């Protein structure tokens, strides 16, 4: 069943909006807290663990030295997982790898940066 209402049916003095009967400062503070908690909850849903590295400098005089990919070896594996280098606006290259696919726990990663010529630079132990 469809019922249509026109404004002439309503009292012309009533606004067509939600009216909060108790608009006290306490009610407004509760609404603000609820809004902020909702925003933080949404932000935490999109947070993912990411493996990053210090930026590799841009080498304009030698484009072949630019980092093309990173090979990542997790937990002693001999099969690499590759990740493309992310190029920052200033031309530097970094690794940004999403770790959300790994199970919870402690993991070891060995990383290699590979340039366009195929030359590998191994990771440094920290």
For the stretch 68-80, pLDDT in tens is 889 999 998 999 9
77-116-114 Cα angle (round to 5): 25
Residue among 96, 90, 82, 97 at smallest CA distance from 57: 90
Q: What is the largest CA-CA distance in the chain?
A: 78
pTM of the predicted model over 0.85: no
Residue among 97, 58, 105 at smallest CA distance from 80: 97
| 78-104 per-position pLDDT tens digit | 999 999 999 888 888 898 998 888 888
| 14-65 per-position pLDDT tens digit | 555 555 556 667 677 777 787 777 777 666 556 678 888 888 888 778 777 7
What pLDDT, on the 0 to 100 scale, is given for residue 5? 44
pLDDT band at residue 2 using 50, 70 and 90 as cut-offs: very low
């Amino acid at each position: 069943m469809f019922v249509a209402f026109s404004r002439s049916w309503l009292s012309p003095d009533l606004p067509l909006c939600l009216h909060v009967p108790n608009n006290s400062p306490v009610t407004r503070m509760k609404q603000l807290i609820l809004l902020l908690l909702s925003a933080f909850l949404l932000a935490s849903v999109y947070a993912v663990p990411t493996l990053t590295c210090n930026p590799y400098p841009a080498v304009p005089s030698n484009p072949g030295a630019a980092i093309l990919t990173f090979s990542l070896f997790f937990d002693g594996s001999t099969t690499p997982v590759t990740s493309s280098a992310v190029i920052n606006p200033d031309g530097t290259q970094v690794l940004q790898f999403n770790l959300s696919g790994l199970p919870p726990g402690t993991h070891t990663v060995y990383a290699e940066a590979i340039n366009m010529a195929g030359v590998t630079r191994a990771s440094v132990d920290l």
